[in-house]
Amino acid sequence: DRNALPSFSEFSLEELKAATGGFSPDNIVSEHGEKAPNVVYKGRLENNRWIAVKRFNKLAWPDSRQFIEEARSVGNLRSERLANLIGCCYEGDERLLVAEFMPNETLAKHLFHWEANPMKWAMRLRVALYLAQALEYCSSKGRALYHDLNAYRVLFDQDGNPRLSCFGLMKNSRDGKSYSTNLAFTPPEYLRTGRVTPESVVFSFGTLLLDLLSGKHIPPSHALDLIRGNNYLMLMDSC
């Protein structure tokens, strides 16, 4: 079955160049385009499988052994709640991850940028449930830490179901930051220690629940002020 998810494997750089049109800018799907430190491309393998390829900054993952160990660990996970990791590439200075391609945009796009067609409550509840199930599955497999959990990490598959990107399960590399969002959304545990903990993942899950409830990206401190002032309706989306 061509649609069956393959086991984790190593790809050559030439394979991924061919799949992405030579890493063409036209195939960039990451939110910040070429300005992002680590760019994500869509691609198509010779067997016609669509993939997402994350190409890291040249300074990332200087230790290829650490990179492949992390990638293999994440690549062993298999869940219908994840955009699963199916392979990697490490040739020379290149470090690339290969995952299932999710064709229907991010939660951020659907929630924050489609004012004329707001997300229905039934779908918001499904996102919350599926995301909780994804995090629970990862935790049960010894991968409780998730880096920079936010609405851009939730992707929609070909059937319109939400999935959690596997890329955030990789440990922080030398060049990156565990939290790319501004300080208003950064977990207090991370601000104190500079390390991602299970508690910081729970905090970030809470900020996503606020996003789903309000339809806006509201800083948790502001949401708390609204709750203390009994201004609950200001938190609620009117859709």
CB atoms within 10 A of CB 106: 22
- Active-site annotation holds for 148: yes
Q: Which amino acid makes up residue 11?
A: F
Phi-psi region of 179 (alpha: psi -120 to 50; beta: other; left: phi over 0): beta
Q: Where are the alpha helices (DSSP H) in 141-237?
A: 188-193, 198-214, 220-228, 232-235
- The whole-angstrom separation of Cα 181 and Cα 184 is 8
Question: Which residue has tokens 């010779």?
Answer: 46
Task: List the catalytic residue out of 1, 93, 148, 225.
Answer: 148
Q: Which residues, including other chains, have CB under 8 Å from residue 222's CB and lie 6 or more apart?
A: 184
Q: Which residues are catalytic?
A: 148
